[in-house]
Structure 1
Amino acid sequence: MHHQLTYGDIKTATDRISGRVRPVTLTPTPPAPGTIRTAHRGPRDRRDDRPEQPYELWLALEFMQHTGSFKARGAQNFIQAHRDAGTLPDAGVTIASGGNAGLACAWAAQQQGVRATVFLPTTAPAVKVGKLRGYGADVRLVGAEYAEALAACEEFAVTTGALASHAYDHPLIAAGAGTLLEEIHRQIPDLDTVVVAVGGGGLFAGVATAARHHGIRTVAVEPENCRALNAAIEAGRPVDVTVDSIAADSLGARRTSAMALHAAQQDDVYSVLVPDSEIVRARQALWDDRRIAVEYGAATALAALTCPDLPAQPASARGSYRPGSGEKVCVVLCGANTDPTTLISPEN
């Protein structure tokens, strides 16, 4: 039995975590010349004779969130909801993730004065282990692969009674992520389209559910070789995909959640695939033009607008999405946990 996310879940989460997360900063962004192309006519046929206008682009700077990614929202909502319901065990919370979800879980637990036990493979980078410990987490290094760390985490939850948190496949986590769209909509009430990168689908499920309530289109963007959601749409059910992309550290889910697939099957959702070369280019452009350093996963969303024309269709699109004339588009830059030395600084 899968919980289908509702707008009510997101509204509740918005109230619950208000004042506990940083409100998102939005910045209007003139597209860099020659990099961002518009469609001759948008997917919404406006049936009017007005001349073509460039579209309006906004960037949601969610990488400035606590812990450097949107995941702080879901983690805060998850722990707070359990605390409110009196279902938070003495053993605290546990998660297997060396990525943004683990950081967010450790941070939210520290905020709430709750114990967090984080399981990672022994191959985890020391910098991530250090960050997690900085948030007060008990870090346990188990096995050479994530699967082994996950098994140890599940065993720990069973033996200690600790509350297991999932990186993305949980309604409280996804609803927390959806609070981001609520904040965006509050600042741009007449937004037409929101563009988000998809890994496991927690951010997408939350954002798309809230967007649909407000009549906003959602464009879900994945690397060509990390297409868990795109493949699920094609198959009509979540399926395993191979994961091979420069953005795999944050978008490398083997399969999407049923919750994300359900959200993707609604009207006005576009699924877009972009090549790694365009992800690298979009990330570098953000640095060159605006001194914004984001992880590859965050640049993936922008790459949907900047990559050269490829045909795109609703819900099984491959390639790019083109905004229509005068369309208001917001691209979510979702995380900044990256190695900035991978950004090339041109010699001045």
Structure 2
Amino acid sequence: MDQATSPAGTIGPDDVRAAAARIAGRVRPVALAHVSSGGGGPTPFEHADVSFALEMLQHTGTFKARGAANLAAYHVAAGTMPDAGVVIASGGNAGVACAWAAQATSTRATVFLPGTAPAFKVAKLTALGADVRLVGTEYAHALEASIEHATSTGALLSHAYDNPLIAAGAGTLAAEILAADPHVETIMVAVGGGGLYAGTAAAVAGTGVSVVAVEPTGCRALHAAIEHGGPVDVPVDSIAADSLGARRTSQLAYDLAVTSTTTSVLVPDEAIASARQHLWDHHRLVVELGGATALAALLSGAYVPRAGERVAVVLCGANTDPCDLVGR
């Protein structure tokens, strides 16, 4: 098939394995760090066996390098990469990954961002040689502009999350977690549009491993889709919106959520900020707010693991300004 080995509209373990073969040697294998309950007193997960998946150490600072590398490698090998290169809309991280993958394959990248994108992410894109264009105030505005650009120029339209190659590439992270620790029972991931979630659910299909999908209360695209029986538009209002601020989840993510062992939970902004600070205070790890969102579900009690449950918490990104972390 064009973009996946599974039937159209779905991905599964075979797609993730194919992605892993394409990007082998291009991305950094994830490191797992076993942690205690955190040194900050009793927590809701003190009786669980918790590890952090340190994906913020990935090229470009986030897991999105995996999907971008898979998409670029696929189209370059197939001879379907147009002269106009790749165009993508992003809150920042997907655009940085796209630009990185394009640079590595001598491909042009045009990246549309909302005008609210953090300046340091814009600077990263410029350093990677991307043609950066700021449009509107939300991801949805940038997406509309990217579609218009692809139509007018013939550029390959990528997507921050709603593309089977992007999702399958993201799923290689979960496959690596299970390879590093076959006893993991639960993988916790932050969810924006659903690319990392979809790849994770696809990667663990048939293994008995469950997925906990964590979203900010103000950016609940996947949670709302599950409640409404399909993807719907939601408001975007969270301190983590620059990386998790999708207005609508993908059909792929929704389909996997309702056919897999998935728990969807919501966390308030206060819990996200607290989890980010916790990672600095107790582990000296600097992550962006979206990167701390999965951990926020544990620290706040939004997800309470069973006694002894072996949990891998994905710290998915570090594209942040650490100046607002309080030194302790």
Tell me the TM-score range normalised by the shorter chain. over 0.9
Is residue 2:315 matched to residue 1:322?
Answer: no
SS at match of 2:50: strand
Is residue 2:177 matched to residue 1:189?
Answer: no
Task: Tell me the TM-score normalised to structure 2 length.
Answer: 0.93
Q: Is contact 2:171-2:203 (8 Å) kept?
A: yes
Question: For 1:83 and 1:58, how far apart are their aligned partners in 2?
Answer: 36
Match of 2:201 among 194, 199, 208: 208
Question: For 1:277 and 1:187, how far apart are their aligned partners in 2?
Answer: 32
Superposed CA RMSD? 1.8
1:342 is matched with 324
1:173 is matched with 166
SS at match of 1:266: coil
Task: Provide closer, same or farther for how the CA distance between residues 220 and 125 of structure 1 changes in structure 2, counting only shifts above 3 A.
Answer: closer
Is residue 2:113 matched to residue 1:131?
Answer: no
How far has the Cα of 1:339 moved from its partner?
1.5
Question: For 1:323 and 1:253, how far apart are their aligned partners in 2?
Answer: 27
2:93 is matched with 100
Match of 2:279 among 286, 293, 297: 286
Question: For 1:191 and 1:146, how far apart are their aligned partners in 2?
Answer: 34
Question: For 2:107 and 2:158, how far apart are their aligned partners in 1?
Answer: 13
SS at match of 2:205: helix
The aligned runs of 1:50-65 (5 Å cut-off) are: 54-65=47-58
1:311 is matched with none
Q: Is contact 1:98-1:129 (8 Å) kept?
A: no
1:297 is matched with 290
How far has the Cα of 1:77 moved from its partner?
0.3
Percent identity, aligned pairs only? 60
Q: Is contact 1:25-1:61 (8 Å) kept?
A: yes
1:90 is matched with 83
Question: For 2:238 and 2:136, how far apart are their aligned partners in 1?
Answer: 23
Q: Is contact 1:2-1:258 (8 Å) kept?
A: no
Q: Is contact 1:297-1:334 (8 Å) kept?
A: yes
| Residue-pair matches, total | 321
Query: What are the ranges of 5 or more consecutive residues in structure 2 without an aligned counterpart?
Result: 1-6
177-186 or 113-122, which deviates more: 113-122
How far has the Cα of 1:144 moved from its partner?
5.8
How far has the Cα of 1:304 moved from its partner?
1.0
1:46 is matched with none
Deviations 1:147-188 (A, max 9, x none): 444333222212221101101000000000000011111100
1:275 is matched with 268
2:239 is matched with 246
SS at match of 1:154: helix
Task: Provide closer, same or farther for how the CA distance between residues 266 and 304 of structure 1 changes in structure 2, counting only shifts above 3 A.
Answer: same
Is residue 2:299 matched to residue 1:306?
Answer: yes
* Residue identity matched to 1:307: S
